[in-house]
Amino acid sequence: MSNFDNVKFSNNDFKSLIFGRHSIRHYDPSVKIPRSELKEMLAEATTAPSSCNLQSWHFIVVDTDEGKEKLKKFFMKFNYPQLESCSAMVLFFGYTDAFKKYRDLWQGMYDRKEITHEMLEKIFATFLPLYEHASQDVLISDGTRDCGLVAMQFMLLARAYGYETNPIGGYDWTKAAAVMGLDPQKYFPVMAVSIGKPEKGAQEVETNRYPIDEVMQFM
């Protein structure tokens, strides 16, 4: 991924990034993350895998008071502490029409000689028809997975840039797209992620996990 050769992380220690992540719900409200940095983190997060490279995601970054007021129209009250104090709330929407851009994406790769003609034909003959004939349920299910992966990458990247996050599903799913000006027939909410610097001294919830033997099996 040569585009990202010059990325500078403030923390590049994988162990600390992954095991040090905890949901942070109280942020220092005086911290403003530059839009260029938010954009950079999201661009880097899109290196996430997605179903057939469909990238069926769309992000809305809310970092203004007016934007946050809009979110209050559908966020549950118990998520107001994050909403009011975070530097930004990033909404991850799935996009069920992503397959319509698919032909151009792969054609571009072929034109730049990144894939062979055989590969191009294979994609047009196999994956594309799958999506063109897919039900809305399948498109939503694929988009949900894609968004989950890109959101997780974003949360880890946030830590690499020195910020903390909280994934949020506690809002009215039926209202999110319309209130944010998206077509609810094509965009569906998957989750929101608050991001910022933690408020000093705030008490956060400790969590633990089930023992691995309870949740796995070999076959």
Residue with tokens 């974003």: 154
Closest CA to 195 of 21, 73, 49: 21
Amino acid at 164: E
207 binds ligand FMN (CB under 6 A): yes
Amino acid at 176: A
Q: Which window, 58-66, 88-96, 101-109, 165-173, contacts ligand FMN (CB under 6 A)?
A: 165-173
Q: Which window, 7-15, 22-30, 38-46, 114-122, contacts ligand FMN (CB under 6 A)?
A: 22-30
Q: How many angstroms from the chain centroid is the CA of residue 72?
A: 20
The Cα–Cα gap between 139 and 55 comes to 12
Cβ-in-10-Å burial (0-12, 13-18, 19+) of 84 comes to middle
Mapped onto helix, strand or coil, the DSSP state of residue 164 is strand
What minimum distance in Å lies between the beta carbon of 170 and ligand FMN? 3
Which residue among 142, 166, 180, 199 contacts ligand FMN (CB under 6 A)?
A: 166
Q: Which window, 42-50, 54-62, 118-126, 163-171, contacts ligand FMN (CB under 6 A)?
A: 163-171
User: Token pair for residue 56?
Assistant: 């069926």
2 binds ligand FMN (CB under 6 A): no
169 binds ligand FMN (CB under 6 A): yes
103 binds ligand FMN (CB under 6 A): no
Residue with tokens 């029409």: 97
Q: Which window, 9-17, 19-27, 37-45, 179-187, contacts ligand FMN (CB under 6 A)?
A: 19-27
Site for ligand FMN, rule CB under 6 A: 22-23, 25, 79, 166-170, 191, 207
